[in-house]
A and B are shown apart, each in its own frame.
Chain A
Amino acid sequence: MAEKKQDRGTRKRFYDGYELAKYRKWRGFKDSWVDYVEWIKDRGVSGELIKSDPIRAFKAFTTYRWMAPYLASGAMVDRTLEDAEGVSLKIGHEFMRVILKSNVKALVKIIKADKRFGDNELADKMVLFEQITSPILIGGFPNLVHSVQEPYHTILPTANDQHGGYYFTDVIDSYGLPSDSCRVSSSICGVAIDDQLPIEGACIVTSNAPCDSSVMNSSVVARRLQIPAIEGCTPMRWRDESTNEYAVAHVKEIIKFIEDTTGEKFDWDAFFKVVERYNEETRIQLELWELAKTPYYPVPAVPNLLFRSFQLSFSSGLADEVVEVSREMLKLCEECYEKKINMRPKTRHRILVCGAPASYYMHFSTWMYECWGVNTVAVMNNLSHHEFISTTDKEEALLGVAKLWEQAIMRRHLVGGYQNMLEMFEEYERFNCDMIMYYDDITCKGSKSMTGIIQDTANERNIPLMWVSHDVIDPRTISRNEMRRQFNEFMFTVMNEKPLDESLLDFDDSKGW
């Protein structure tokens, strides 16, 4: 009997249908040891989720459906580092640990503040930020804590377990929302309607980022939470300077609202300190991007994507460890560049990835590299806000906050004019790419309505552009394997190439995490 493709190559260590490995990947003695030690450390970090308050944690796991997928976080980290070795592995682990630590901290905070499990003071000191709104303003309220809603209930659970989020889209579908509506926004409504939102927070800052559906889901969330809410709705035409005055006035209104609802006063000194850290995060990021333009950039694709998203949307200068780890990792990257060490030796193509990725297949870039040698060197979502915010002028600083919100992940490119979408072609040149992949979120109206122009522009410039469709958090609509099939088809027919690892061409992981 002929040997199945999956019986050899990278895929052979996995059970068919699952992401479950029969054994850990052998990376040579040193790398395997590093990987194993880091893996153990990660388990220790994850353990904090239980250790910090075992009773509340138990209650949270048994109350909230979105909690269970976090148990698979170890597998998620493994998936993102499948393609890493040497320095890349080290950097990948460090980046992922920052994310893991911060997520654990955030979840612990959510659990501890939840009034469903008993009254507590933390709940009334918590300011909720909806969607992907940067919580940077909370830096000016050192006595308050923040919690970013939505990602922890829908996107991150799906990233940990591909089956972790779509239950909530089913809930909202059965409530009457058409399933063509953006799944990211609708899933949080499902969480709200299913009464799966923690009961906490002194107030919430809702958001109009990134698109129409997020404008609309805000009212569902605000209505369910039944706490004072203010709309965080900065202008759409963010390049139009005539909108700045309104943007600043609105940020001021939000500060006043938080002051009024919590009784706290905005502390400019504390705020500027956080802004300084944000600026430092941005400065390091800009340097990393410079290195990413060369072949000697060692950061693995997925940690690169996730760390930057985390920094921009969740930290924004608030998480201490981000700057520290970023600095250390920058040093490692610079060493690689100086010594001309290519940590991505399988690279045949340098690809720019655009559009919102599928939460249920965050590690798609890992597969692209392993199977086809296609190295993700830049991600448009990562190239969102990257301006420095004033640390001296109050008005300028508030405008900076508004710009940060206006140019949040996805929002920077989706709204404010078609030119923002077409920025991808400039970035393509800047990062020395030779391919573009567009994550075609089938529910994203802002990008779907640009498909022709994007394709035409790519054709005019003779750029290989592929579309990979997905349904953000629902792998039942377009499975991971279907996404791979689309990619394979393009590589075979347009690029006329053969895979590096045939075992990865077509396999079933539909039942896996």
Chain B
Amino acid sequence: MKDLKYRVYFENLLSDVKNELVAQALDDGKRALGFSCYFIPAVLLNLDGCFSLRLRAPGTTDTGIATYYMSEKTCMFSRSILERAIEGGYNFLSALMGTETCSMMNRSQEHFEMLNLVKDVNDKFYVTHVDPPFVMKDYAFTHYEKQLRIHILDKLRDTYGIDTSDEALMKAIDEHNEVCDVITEIGNFRKQENPPITGYEFHLIELVSEVCPQKLILPYLKETLEEIKARKADEKPWYRVRVVLAGGENDDPYFTKLIEDSGAFVVADRYCYGSLPGRERIEVKPGETPLAAIARHYMYTSQCPRFMSQDKVHGRKQYFKQLAEEYKADGLIVEQMKFCEYWEYERMYCMNVMESEYGLPCLGIEKEYVTAASGQLRTRFQAFVEALELKKIKNGAEVK
């Protein structure tokens, strides 16, 4: 296939946290609001006067100082964010919206406070912590909504004078939905037998939509959508098998590329920073306030293993299966950042039940934030691809 017009541009945007679009928004007087967890609804950070920025630490090589603070036995993503912050890489942020969801990420965010980071260049900078619930109950929705109101909206209004009225929220929802529609439409091409897009390209597109000011990236996304619509796929599909990629934090498109280089097309991205879930439209029901709709939306769509209720526990596996059917996947790869306890358990669970109970072959991978040891990973992916092919042969299917 011919390269996407903006592929290199998107790659460049992802090579720096403060990329040119972020810099442009800052120059326009917009406030950058950092966050990392799905439990912080990005839509709330995209009110007029500010923009959301999902934290990454591209190009991380060494986390020496962060390792001193957080030890080497903690999630490298959390340490990389801290390292970048200590280096001054997030000094342009106006606030950091934290959550007490994963303990290590939460600690990383708390280090912003403990070490007084960013404050010396912006004395209004603050870190706030939302306490998301673990269960799906009416009182849990109320609690979550209240948390979002107190920790996000009220603080933005009081500190930076951001308009957090229902009208402003409705406008933000509309703009958010517009981005979601474009991303979803692009993502749907992955369902095709011979799609005009690769998993790697989609990963780039989804990521730039997370780490760039929404309004500034939207024109590029729209143009890319039109380009993909008109794009001619290769005569034969390039992949050998199709897989759903699930797991914890993953903001590394090269990880997706590594899988695809092994012959497995990543058709669905069910991981933190992915689009499934994340790019569904937010619907405001009649009589519902915009904030309540947002809280409901994020609680319902979240597939985070932190949810303890059994319906969510089983629902997560069901969701994998549903994605596999919808995107015609042959298998599931569950990746887990080393030391991430949520996904350690989820990966273990999936490896033991996905094939036997849901008929979906599963490969579990433990990885670091920086994809080192790609040789070993590639070997495992290749073995998985071959295993899936063998399974297909046994089932009488034609192998590409």
Do chains A and B stick together as partners? yes
CB of A175 within 8 A of chain B? yes
Are A449 and B100 in contact, CB atoms less than 8 angstroms apart?
A: no
Are B348 and A177 in contact, CB atoms less than 8 angstroms apart?
A: yes
A178, A182, A451 — most chain B CB neighbours (10 Å):
A178
- Given the complex of chains A and B, what is the CA–CA distance between A416 and B99 in angstroms? 10
Say how far B69's CB is from chain A's closest CB, in angstroms.
Answer: 3
CB of A325 within 8 A of chain B? no
A contact face: mostly helix, strand, loop, or mixed:
helix
Say how far A59's CB is from chain B's closest CB, in angstroms.
Answer: 29
Residues of B113-144 whose CB lies within 8 A of A: 113-115, 129, 131, 133-135, 137, 139-140, 142-143
Chain A interface category by residue count: 35 or more
CB of B341 within 8 A of chain A? yes
Say how far A365's CB is from chain B's closest CB, in angstroms.
Answer: 24
Say how far A142's CB is from chain B's closest CB, in angstroms.
Answer: 27
Given A211-B103, A414-B103, A445-B341, verify A176-B364 contact (CB < 8 Å). yes
CB of B42 within 8 A of chain A? no
Given A246-B143, A448-B74, A449-B78, verify A178-B107 contact (CB < 8 Å). no
B78, B102, B129, B131 — most chain A CB neighbours (10 Å):
B131
Are A180 and B73 in contact, CB atoms less than 8 angstroms apart?
A: yes
Residues of A202-230 whose CB lies within 8 A of B: 206, 208, 211-213, 215-220, 222-223, 229
- Given the complex of chains A and B, what is the CA–CA distance between A449 and B73 in angstroms? 8
Name the residue on B nearest A422 (C-beta). Answer: B114
CB of B306 within 8 A of chain A? yes
Say how far B141's CB is from chain A's closest CB, in angstroms.
Answer: 10
Residues of B256-307 whose CB lies within 8 A of A: 305-306
Interface mask (A244-270 → B, CB under 8 Å = 1, otherwise 0):
011001100100000000000000000
Given A212-B102, A249-B139, A442-B73, verify A242-B150 contact (CB < 8 Å). yes
Are A242 and B147 in contact, CB atoms less than 8 angstroms apart?
A: yes
Given A418-B110, A445-B74, A451-B70, verify A176-B135 contact (CB < 8 Å). no
Are B308 and A452 in contact, CB atoms less than 8 angstroms apart?
A: no
Are B69 and A452 in contact, CB atoms less than 8 angstroms apart?
A: yes
- Given the complex of chains A and B, what is the CA–CA distance between A245 and B147 in angstroms? 11
Are B142 and A246 in contact, CB atoms less than 8 angstroms apart?
A: yes
Are B308 and A206 in contact, CB atoms less than 8 angstroms apart?
A: yes
Are B71 and A451 in contact, CB atoms less than 8 angstroms apart?
A: yes
Say how far A359's CB is from chain B's closest CB, in angstroms.
Answer: 19
Task: List the one stretch of A11-19, A92-100, A232-240 in contact with chain B.
Answer: A232-240
CB of B104 within 8 A of chain A? yes
Contacts of B114 in A (CB 8 A): 418, 453
Are B345 and A213 in contact, CB atoms less than 8 angstroms apart?
A: yes
- Choose from A212, A217, A236, A448 the contact partner of B131 (Cβ within 8 Å): A236
Are A449 and B131 in contact, CB atoms less than 8 angstroms apart?
A: no
B contact face: mostly helix, strand, loop, or mixed:
helix
Chain B interface category by residue count: 35 or more
Contacts of A181 in B (CB 8 A): 341, 344-345
CB of B206 within 8 A of chain A? no
CB of B310 within 8 A of chain A? yes
Say how far A402's CB is from chain B's closest CB, in angstroms.
Answer: 12
- Given the complex of chains A and B, what is the CA–CA distance between A448 and B69 in angstroms? 9
Are B348 and A176 in contact, CB atoms less than 8 angstroms apart?
A: yes
Residues of B316-350 whose CB lies within 8 A of A: 338-339, 341-342, 344-349
Name the residue on A nearest B74 (C-beta). Answer: A449
Name the residue on B nearest A240 (C-beta). Answer: B131
Are A417 and B129 in contact, CB atoms less than 8 angstroms apart?
A: yes
Contacts of A220 in B (CB 8 A): 345, 349
Say how far A31's CB is from chain B's closest CB, in angstroms.
Answer: 44
Contacts of B348 in A (CB 8 A): 172, 175-177
Are B131 and A233 in contact, CB atoms less than 8 angstroms apart?
A: no
Say how far A451's CB is from chain B's closest CB, in angstroms.
Answer: 5
CB of A87 within 8 A of chain B? no
CB of A231 within 8 A of chain B? yes
- Given the complex of chains A and B, what is the CA–CA distance between A236 and B147 in angstroms? 12
Given A176-B352, A177-B345, verify A216-B305 contact (CB < 8 Å). yes
Are A446 and B103 in contact, CB atoms less than 8 angstroms apart?
A: yes
Given A182-B341, A417-B129, A442-B73, verify A218-B103 contact (CB < 8 Å). no
Residues of A143-173 whose CB lies within 8 A of B: 172
A-B interface, 9 closest residue pairs, ranked by CB to CB distance from nearest:
A452-B69, A246-B143, A216-B345, A249-B139, A449-B107, A233-B134, A231-B308, A212-B341, A176-B348
- A/B interface sample: 10 pairs, CB < 8 A: A181-B345, A211-B341, A212-B342, A216-B305, A216-B345, A237-B100, A237-B129, A250-B137, A449-B108, A453-B69
Starting from the known contacts A212-B342, A449-B71, A451-B69, 4 additional A-B residue pairs (CB-CB under 8 Å) come to: A181-B341, A216-B341, A219-B310, A445-B74
